[in-house]
Structure 1
């Protein structure tokens, strides 16, 4: 089991290599080389950043405490940790570069607001970069609302602003009159100069193009940077990236938040009408997502005919900026009950009164998109509903079926971090590590990739890499987990893998304690399994390649070329109380006769012998 891991890399079946061939080893070597190169670059950037002088922002002031006290919710534990870590980074005299990962609606914006406030208090300007105009407007509202009591000038630079307004904002930034500017990639244009920039906040960095990322990289080297993403980053990846990238994971959901009820249904007038009216009856609003601009007007007419008493607004990316802004603001103000839009609402929109979303042709969306769209509702303590409209199961592709089932099954809070097929995690890993690495993740699978990454980073940092023992066991003793002891197949596989992957005897002991604590005293076959794991670790430490134990006869087969000293032979003679013989050729072998020991005690004796040598 130490050679078996769940493959998660892409939807299609992975390319298989023949057993006994060299293809797989070549693929692993290629992946390892790419990982080492990438890890070297990352460590170099990280080390350089630690040596470059940055801005040391001042400690918290009375104003900061006032701002924190005015936060209408209680900070979640993870949110508080992220805030503390970010503040500590900012107070150091080296440039900050922290990534904050959190599920949709888990309070990343509040972390950013506090960081921005800290920078402004130290007389520095702040730029907040977002991927869409609508999100820029949303952030402007949130920042302005939270910082209303303080003398801070906040502006937004995006296509929602007229030429004249843009010119005046650019001048204000150059003169240092504007403290915080929120904008789309318009902020990266050559004519925008922010002379006193101290903090750059980037929301959903992976959604910017290569050219914009290059410009960002140049800015990042000199100022403190905070990046935020809702694409989940797996914890395993976070652990292996320790010391290469500073990350905070916000995994705890806000208090009183309820999971979103998710239903897959066909496009039927009664279902749509009932869903909309149910929401409107409790004074809520509805998002209706239809992702085709060409036919959005037809759907608008359909909804008007179906529910003439309900007010519907239409929004899509091909509209004139002014009209789009007007519609979004009117919807925010509650002037419309339904917003019929394309997927432009996908990122970051936060309207607590919207608690029902209907997604038409949900089978055409990717998993990450569906997940982000569904996250637009359920932002308050009210129960939220998501209706995924799709043709009957027979008429959609197996892949689409799989996606819809996955999103329906994982309706609980924060399930973005547990989505079974890891689609999002792999995307998240690709976002952090770059597109080329995504290809390698697909080739070797995510679990093995993470293992290789961990080893590469540890080696480059000069740390000792302990690999799991590769000693083979050939024994005639039953080592299995019976159904009577543990019924769940997944738990069994997990336990087999833990024992097979253990690198130290202390890990085996900890597994023993945990399992006995949960499932009770080991039956004989499980006790043998754990002993076998311990024998492998001890044998590997003695450079033994294979342990054969059959009918009470033991053979320790050493690695080729291992030299035996006289002292070692004497040590074996002293420790072993059974008949024994040595064969000290090119591949040394020690044979022990344990015939008189009861079968189920033999592994325990072997372990004791190896530990004493």
Structure 2
């Protein structure tokens, strides 16, 4: 007998009920006992003068008059009676529960639970309680059509009665004592059957920590297993690497130097590197990647850089060509647009090792693209690739080291959960000479003055982006659209001899690239665009980013767009145009004007919008926790991670008797993939 027993051992659980429980994720006694209530009903009887308006309460009194039942509509009814409480008479109404009439007898005592309207002094009843009700608190569980709330409560009671002696602590005693956590059995009992709200709160605190701690233990074990995997030890030429860094046209920041050292140390180790390089827009990730790729090349290996778009891949190729000029680095660009004849010429040179640095899009992982000695894989804007695509590139060599890069600053919440098994390097400072971007929020009524400001920047020889959420006019949504703004700006700036370009997602790739190239060459001084310019475009002469309907964008996206300017030593500006309709929209605009720190912005984005859109794909979002909220409970999540790291780095921790239950749980979790449920 144990917590892994099927729920079928409980009375009344047949095939239909098994299916209904499975829909709720309940298949074992363990999953039933950890299927916690999402709220509690306080069933203690209160005096009328203690009750607040719209409070859910229990009233106890005498039925003062016979109940009346009236029906209206199809299957709709209203049941009324009067409840005498001391000298007060309280009208009670039950909607659509006609069967309760037989439970209501004149001059009989009764307890009713419902929502109290203090202004009218009446109760909207929810249920009639047994006068012998012992529990002051009633647990309320998420349920479905196949199984009633009451049935879940009964099954939890049955499981507790039969299995509570089988509940053993998972959190080690030292950790539990230090953070004043409840024993697991007490925690589970008080989650389901608390004596009061204080007990329920203490149990929930312990349940949150246990959930975070179990998850972090699994992540740490994944990380340590990856570290023990056979990898490539790249014995790079340190002297050549130093000469390359010294020859760069600028001094690396302290953060860049620190990150280069972290990555290069991993390259030398004979284990597989799985590292995430994150840094704000313009922080200099590309040059860090270049140094590390050159290190691999000096060690006799090939390097590959995969980017999500052709324009970004081409930009990387051009930048790296300039950086590696005069060095024995043979760079080739391979994308979906590469002509068949050129591709046919590239592939054998790549397979023979003649090409030692290849840059491209998903074309790098296609069938027939073979490498000679692939040592380092760099994945730019990695969250734009699916898990399968990232894995496919990794499998092109003999377990090459992987460096994933992202310019989307990952809030600490996501770094601890979704990327907990990766080593993370952070570039947290901008290159010398970069000036912070000045961000202003204006209303639509102030647009004319903003356009005058853009005109002054153009007169100074600079360029401007103008971004809008829609391509064409839509009757459904009242937002400015790219086509209309393009026409307006063209008419306004043409007499001033400034050219305006238009860029949007419906254009063909070659059309987009032609427009972008023209903007980079200053043939267009103003570029009206949708969010296709969010990632990767680098035009150092652009100093203004004007964003229409800014409150329709998430903070992380606004920050990415803002990062398209401020890429030189010129002062740059971001102008947000928005008339937000609610507090959330106002809060987003204020955050953007108050900070340029992408990590602060992304954490606020997570708090205001939730995790869904921060990194896009489902696999990049937050795991589903039952009781813990990784955003609201970030401090606890961090503590759980620290404790899991400490424990797993302690020699022989798995053999200590105190950890036996935890080790057993982790083995079962690995077999059943609990973490990814």
Matched, 1:345 2:533: yes
| Further displaced range: 180-189 or 194-203 | 180-189
- TM superposition shift of 1:119: 1.1
Matched, 1:184 2:366: no
What residue number does 1:408 align with?
A: 593
- TM superposition shift of 1:385: 0.5
* Aligned mates of 1:17, 1:452 — CA distance in 2: 27
Q: Check the 8 A contact 2:241/2:295 in 1, yes or no.
A: yes
Deviations 1:505-564 (A, max 9, x none): xxxxxxxxxxxxxxxxxxxxxxxxxxxxxxxxxxxxxxxxxxxxxxxxxxxxxxxxxxxx
Q: Which runs of 5+ in 2 are unaligned?
A: 1-37, 42-195, 473-480, 654-677
Q: Check the 8 A contact 1:99/1:248 in 2, yes or no.
A: yes
- TM superposition shift of 1:317: 2.7
Alignment root-mean-square deviation, CA = 3.4
- TM superposition shift of 1:252: 2.0
Matched, 1:398 2:398: no
What residue number does 2:623 align with?
A: 437
What residue number does 2:639 align with?
A: 451
Matched, 1:417 2:605: no
Deviations 1:42-77 (A, max 9, x none): 333333333333222234354423321222222111
Matched, 1:276 2:454: yes
Matched, 1:378 2:563: no
Deviations 1:243-296 (A, max 9, x none): 953222211222122111111123455234313212212211111112322342
* Aligned mates of 2:214, 2:334 — CA distance in 1: 38
Alignment map for 1:297-376 (pairs within 5 Å): 297-308=483-494, 309-376=497-564
SS in 1 for 2:629: helix
What residue number does 1:107 align with?
A: 284
* Aligned mates of 1:296, 1:107 — CA distance in 2: 31
What residue number does 1:592 align with?
A: none
* Aligned mates of 2:602, 2:304 — CA distance in 1: 36
* Aligned mates of 1:157, 1:38 — CA distance in 2: 40
TM-score normalized by structure 1? 0.65
* Aligned mates of 1:289, 1:430 — CA distance in 2: 20
The total of aligned residue pairs comes to 445
* Aligned mates of 2:343, 2:419 — CA distance in 1: 41
What residue number does 1:290 align with?
A: 468
Matched, 1:206 2:383: yes
1:90 to 267, 282, 289: 267
Q: Check the 8 A contact 1:430/1:437 in 2, yes or no.
A: no
- TM superposition shift of 1:147: 0.8
Matched, 1:135 2:315: no
Distance 1:261-1:234 versus aligned 2 partners, 3 A rule: same
Q: Check the 8 A contact 1:17/1:24 in 2, yes or no.
A: no
SS in 2 for 1:441: coil
Q: Check the 8 A contact 2:281/2:560 in 1, yes or no.
A: yes
Q: Check the 8 A contact 2:306/2:364 in 1, yes or no.
A: yes
Deviations 1:153-203 (A, max 9, x none): 212222343444444444442333322122222323333322421100112
What residue number does 2:222 align with?
A: 45
- TM superposition shift of 1:435: 2.9
* Aligned mates of 1:239, 1:360 — CA distance in 2: 34
Distance 1:272-1:85 versus aligned 2 partners, 3 A rule: same
SS in 2 for 1:200: strand
Q: Check the 8 A contact 2:303/2:375 in 1, yes or no.
A: yes
SS in 1 for 2:224: helix
Kindly indicate whether structure 1 or structure 2 has the higher relative contact order, using CA contacts under 8 Å at least 6 residues apart. 1
Q: Check the 8 A contact 1:406/1:420 in 2, yes or no.
A: no
* Aligned mates of 2:434, 2:318 — CA distance in 1: 22
* Aligned mates of 1:22, 1:431 — CA distance in 2: 39
- TM superposition shift of 1:372: 0.9
SS in 1 for 2:197: coil
TM-score normalized by structure 2? 0.59
Distance 1:463-1:24 versus aligned 2 partners, 3 A rule: farther
Q: Which has the larger radius of gyration?
A: 2
Q: Check the 8 A contact 1:160/1:322 in 2, yes or no.
A: no
Q: Which runs of 5+ in 1 are unaligned?
A: 1-14, 466-613
Matched, 1:161 2:343: no
* Aligned mates of 1:408, 1:333 — CA distance in 2: 30
